[in-house]
Amino acid sequence: MARKNLIEISAPSPARTEAVAPRDNRPIAGFVPQERSAAPVGGITKTLGNITEKMERASELERQLAAGQTIVDLDPGLIDASFVSDRLAIDAVELAQLVEQIREHGQQVPILVRPHPETRGRYQVAYGHRRLAATREIGIRVRAVVRDLTDGQLVVSQGQENSARTNLSYIERALFASRLEERSFGRDVIMAALGVDKAALSRMLIVIRQVPLDLINAIGPAPDIGRRRWLELGERIESADIEKIVAELSADDARKIPSDERFHRALVLATKKTAAQRPAVVKSAVSGVPVMIKKTGSGATFVFDGKSAPGFDQFVQDRLKGLFQEFNKDRGA
């Protein structure tokens, strides 16, 4: 990362970060250099050694900043979310707990951001969305590592960090995989981001193709529901009334129950098959004709008695076209 861009980073207060001024006396990323005691008169060798040490330390700081190894404090209002979401929503209870932890102990783990690829002076978060949300709620600056990342590097960092720390549910990981595929990321990048093999990734994408997004949103993350149960739901909803299931799970009473329970309710609703109502059948016979007529609300069926009048069914079939023409003529069609 060029020094010009680094200077725009909002840096921590001097009390929290130690740095040494570079040889051109300009501050690195806003850091204030430590004051050092003056060299003794006549100590030319020692003075040169100090200058060399300063230059080396300044170069190291610049290298660390360029590599994104230095933690800085940023205004949360300058940070945007990742361009691809890996969560259905941030759980309100978990967020409240995180807010209390940061209030009591401070933010122990920094988030990872990159300079925003489209908006100068802003940043885009790779991982740490919950920590970012917590610091916003508290009203403090967020500790962050700033690093130049390509889109591919960002999503791999995002996926690997979240898999290691935040325990994304199976369906959230599957959605993340699907969203990456929609953005034309290769399977190798997606597998690296999620830490899965080709077969596991294929099953994730099958679940997303089977279960509509509206139903997934109505169920929620369902943290205790794994691949097998989601695949089972995907198979069962093929003949189910999905709109009805979504409506039931979106009702106020359903939103109050845990997400895992909503999944089980969806599975039960998908399993229930509405009993098909058999149409009322009216049977009638024409006197002297070996045919039974079965009428329903939508049509009629003629059943020919092949024993008493063999071949009569074919005889009628051969004359159906003429009968239909005569029918139309009689009604003026």
pLDDT averaged over the chain?
Answer: 77
d(CA 139, CA 142): 9
Q: Can you give the pLDDT at residue 5?
A: 39
3-state secondary structure string, the chain?
Answer: CCHHHHCCCCCCCCCCCCCCCCCCCCCCCCCCCCCCCCCCCCCHHHHHHHHHHHHHHHHHHHHHHHHCCCEEEECHHHEECCCCCCCCCCCHHHHHHHHHHHHHHCCCCCEEEEECCCCCCCEEEEECHHHHHHHHHHCCCEEEEECCCCHHHHHHHHHHHHHHHCCCCHHHHHHHHHHHHHCCCCHHHHHHHHCCCHHHHHHHHHHHHHCCHHHHHHHCCCCCCCHHHHHHHHHHHHHCCHHHHHHHHHCHHHHCCCHHHHHHHHHHHHHCCCCCCCCCCEEEECCCCCEEEEECCCCEEEEECCCCCCCHHHHHHHCHHHHHHHHHHHCCC
Instruction: Express each pLDDT in 119-131 by its tens digit.
Output: 999 999 998 888 9
- Residue 213 confidence (pLDDT) above 70: yes
Q: Can you give the pLDDT at residue 66?
A: 47
- Residue 192 confidence (pLDDT) above 60: yes
Instruction: Express each pLDDT in 100-114 by its tens digit.
Output: 999 999 998 899 999
Instruction: Express each pLDDT in 243-288 by its tens digit.
Output: 999 999 988 888 888 899 999 999 999 887 544 445 555 666 777 7
Q: Which of 180-194, 280-294, 315-329 has the lowest mean pLDDT?
A: 280-294
Helices H / strands E in the chain, number of each: 15, 8
Q: Can you give the pLDDT at residue 215?
A: 94
CB-count exposure of residue 212 (10 Å: 0-12, 13-18, 19+): middle
- Residue 21: pLDDT band (50, 70, 90) is very low
Mean pLDDT, range 166-172, rounded to an integer? 80
When comparing pLDDT for 44 and 78, which is higher? 78
Alpha-carbon dihedral 101, 103, 106, 110, rounded to 10 degrees: 70
Q: Can you give the pLDDT at residue 63?
A: 53
- β-pairing, 142-146 vs 111-115, is parallel
Q: Can you give the pLDDT at residue 283?
A: 67
Mean pLDDT, range 287-307, rounded to an integer? 78
Mean pLDDT, range 131-154, rounded to an integer? 93
Mean pLDDT, range 2-30, rounded to an integer? 38
When comparing pLDDT for 16 and 215, which is higher? 215
When comparing pLDDT for 223 and 273, which is higher? 223
Decide: 125 and 116 in contact? Cβ < 8 Å: no
Q: Where are the alpha helices (DSSP H) in 33-91?
A: 44-67
| Share of residues in the chain with pLDDT > 90 (%) | 37
Mean pLDDT, range 80-109, rounded to an integer? 86
Q: Which of 135-149, 239-253, 303-317 has the highest mean pLDDT?
A: 135-149
When comparing pLDDT for 279 and 96, which is higher? 96
Q: Can you give the pLDDT at residue 212?
A: 92
d(CA 300, CA 298): 7
Q: Can you give the pLDDT at residue 133?
A: 92
- Residue 142 confidence (pLDDT) above 90: yes
When comparing pLDDT for 291 and 154, which is higher? 154
Q: Can you give the pLDDT at residue 209?
A: 93
d(CA 287, CA 300): 18
- Residue 219 confidence (pLDDT) above 70: yes
